[in-house]
Structures are given as C-alpha cells and as structure tokens.
Amino acid sequence: MADDRTPEWLGYAPATIRAHKYAVRYHPKLGRRVACVIPDRERDAEVTLFSRVPHPEIESRIPDGGPFFVNEWKQVLKPVLGEEGFREVLYLGEFPDLRFRFSFRGRVFDNASSDGLRPGDEWKHQEVGMRYKYDLSVGTISRETISWEDFAAVYETQTLDHPAASLLSAFARARPGRRAGRFYVNEHGLAFLPRTEGAQMPVFVGRVDVESDPWFEKHEPDAPRG
C-alpha cells in the first residue's frame, strides 16, 4: 500500500497491466535497467530491450521485473498489489526530461521522434503507452478506469466528446475502413494503433498536444516525498 513517501495515484491508469508497459529488469552486465519488449518479426519471437543509459530515479523505486507506466504528462505510475490482494497504483513523480532509448541490431528505438511519419506509417518504436479507444461513428475518444469498492472491481468509461478534428481525421487515414478500436498514447504524446489479428504491424496516428488540444484533464497528485 502507499506510504508517506509514495502517494497513491488516483488519476487514470489502464485497467489491465498485461502489455504496453515498461519494466525494470536485471541485465548481467548493466545491472538493473528500464526495459521493454518488442517483437522480433524475423524470428517470430519477442525480445527484451534494456535502456542505453541508467535511470536511477525510476530503477531505484521499482523491484526487478516490476512494471510501470508513463503517461502523456511524463508522470510515472507503478501498479502494485494493495491490501487484501487488490491492485493499486502508486505515483513516483513527474519527470519532464524523461526519455528512454533502446537499441537492437544496430537500430535505435526512440519513441520521442515522429520525424517523417504520417498517419498509417508503420510504428517502429517501442509499443508502450496509455490505452484509449476511439469511435469515428460518434466522434469520441474514451478510456476505461477501474476502482475498488469492498470486494468489487468497478469499471467506468470516461468519454472525451469533442476531440481535435485533426486527430479524428488521422485515425481515419491511419487504418482506412476501421471505425473504432484501441489506441495508445506514449509519454511524448505520440499516438499509435496496436497490432491486431487483422493488422500485424502497429501504425502511427499522430501527436496529441496535451497543452493545447482538447484532451482529458491532467491529474495533479501530491508530490512524492523523500
């Protein structure tokens, strides 16, 4: 459970933590590092990548193998088991300069860059982000939240009724013919559509400017202490 140094996060966090997340893992030569999983399509396998540089402000706060998320405001969220086995999310802080870089077979993965990408282009960086849904038939974006009441998990849908027209147009161009589905926004505000059964590669959508575009309200928690 949350302690005096690590406050509980009461803002939005994905209802499930199975995928599209970072983790802290142990590397035999580098030690504990931020890591992520990418697909290796040549071998039809998955590969764990380790950050090129250490991030002690995060790695020191998360146990080996522990997952974490970074939202579009660069707020770092750590899901844990709470009292009686219930999941809760802790807030580790906001890190405006946070940027993870990975490399594999001579290629650098840097999900802060969208240079040259247009809606529908393959998204070749780490597939990590906060989960949302879009629906072009009604022109909305939504997200599913979870809260705990006694021994019940309560799921609630929050809807953004008037997102930027440019973003809705980008969804239509990114995967033509698809009117609704999941998408992810990473810590740099870049949105992508994930791999699905009918589409084997993730595709870039566009950028969400959380400062000027219509978007969900930023949650302002108490700052961690210590």
Structure tokens at 125: 């960086």
pLDDT confidence of residue 1: 45
SS (H, E, C) 156-203: EEEEECCCCHHHHHHHHHHCCCCCEEEEEECCCCEEEECCECCECCCE
* Residues 78/129/154/65 CA torsion (nearest 10 deg): -40
Helix (H, G, I), strand (E, B) or coil at 162: coil
d(C-alpha 41, C-alpha 47), whole Å: 10
Four-residue CA torsion sign, 166, 101, 131, 9 = negative
State in Å, rounded, how far the first CA of the chain is from the last one. 17
d(C-alpha 74, C-alpha 57), whole Å: 13
Is this structure's pTM higher than 0.85? Answer: yes
pLDDT tens digits, the chain, 226 residues: what are they?
445 467 889 899 887 666 789 999 999 999 999 999 988 777 778 899 999 999 999 999 998 888 999 999 999 999 886 655 557 889 999 999 999 999 998 889 999 989 899 999 999 899 999 999 999 999 999 999 877 777 777 788 999 999 999 999 999 999 999 999 999 999 999 999 998 756 678 999 999 999 999 999 999 987 665 5
Neighbouring residues of 34: CB distance < 8 A, sequence distance ≥ 6: 22, 23, 24, 50, 51, 55, 58, 59, 100
Question: For the chain, how big is the Rg over CA atoms in Å?
Answer: 18
Residue 164: CB atoms within 10 A of its CB come to 17
